[in-house]
Amino acid sequence: MVRFSHCRRGMTLIEVLVVVSVISVLLSLLIPAVQRVRAAANRLSCSNNLKQIGLALHSRHDSHESFPNGQHSWRSTPRYWKMSWRGDLLPELEQAQLWQQVAEDYARQSNPISTTQPHRAMPFVLPIFGCPSDPRVRRAHSVVGFLGLQFGLSSYLGVSGANARAADGTFFFDSQVRLTDITDGTSNTLIVGERPPSSDLRLGWWYAGIGFDGRGSGDSILGAAENTSSLRSCPPGKAVFRAGKFDDYCDAAHFWSPHPNGAMFLRGDGSVTFLPYSATAMLLALSTRAGSEVVEMP
């Protein structure tokens, strides 16, 4: 009787190394591709957020004959002191119940940042106000110096013009700009742009805030070339449109986004455009509503 022995041949060390090398190469090709797809999806979602904000702004303009205040002051609108233009949009964003809470809380206490009777909408997270490329905007945060309070964040600020104090844009302190005031043309005027919340999360609350100048800059509104002298520990000068970092506090003084190479902006006609960082001069010209600049849109 003949017996046959069966033996399995294992992989040699060289073969194992070859397989590992092939897998490593495939992963090195796959991971960047997945990241590019995710970045493209986030950019599309961000663009859609701005379009929906644009529709809400025009709806609000139709009912009130002007865009909302960039930031409410005590003198002009004491009932809604410190509230941003985003709060005014709640009824147009199908947030009637949340708006009712806002009205009730302001009737009870004007200061929305008080620790004694905090406003209920302050920590509320509205996805439409946040760019999905920034994971910080997906939840409310506690902030150093505001014990017991949490704040919902926003990636989008109203464009106040050359700077917040110039008030030559569409959203600024106590602004009530009408479409007829935008004589440069709504398609040639940027009204909302991207800027992630500051590194310490003290700038960029969607509901209300005082900003780095006491007039809402950095919280509700932002100019195309803000003076950085009001920001602590930041070099003096003009903050220009350029790439930024989540952990750099001084980047809160200028428009930028987590998207590669530029940022998204909403125009006055409701359309959305992507401006590259090379378009710094163009951003300044497009930020004013009646500057008569000659600009060729990208």
Q: Is residue 31 part of a domain?
A: no
Rounded (10°) CA dihedral 100, 104, 107, 110: -90
The answer as to whether 16 is a domain residue is no
pLDDT for 36 equals: 62
67: in domain: yes
- pLDDT averaged over every residue in the chain: 89
pLDDT of residue 39: 74
Task: Report whether 131 contacts 38 (CB < 8 A).
Answer: no
Q: What is the domain count for the chain? A: 1
Global pTM value? 0.86
Per the domain annotation, does 25 fall within a domain? no
Nearest to 171 by CA among 46, 84, 55: 84
User: Is residue 140, in this structure, part of any structural domain at all?
Assistant: yes
Which amino acid belongs to residue 104? E
- Tell me the pLDDT band of 195, cut-offs 50, 70 and 90: very high
* C-alpha to C-alpha distance for 252 and 217, rounded to whole angstroms: 10
Cα 88 from Cα 175, distance rounded (Å): 13
Would 14 be classed as within a structural domain?
A: no
* Assigned domain for 32 exists: no
Q: Is residue 146 part of a domain?
A: yes
| Domain hosting residue 164, numbered range | 38-286
**CA within 13 Å, CB half, 109:** 10
Which CA distances in Å does 188 have to 163, 165, 182?
Answer: 18, 21, 9
Stretch among 22-31, 147-156, 186-195, 202-211 having the lowest mean pLDDT: 22-31
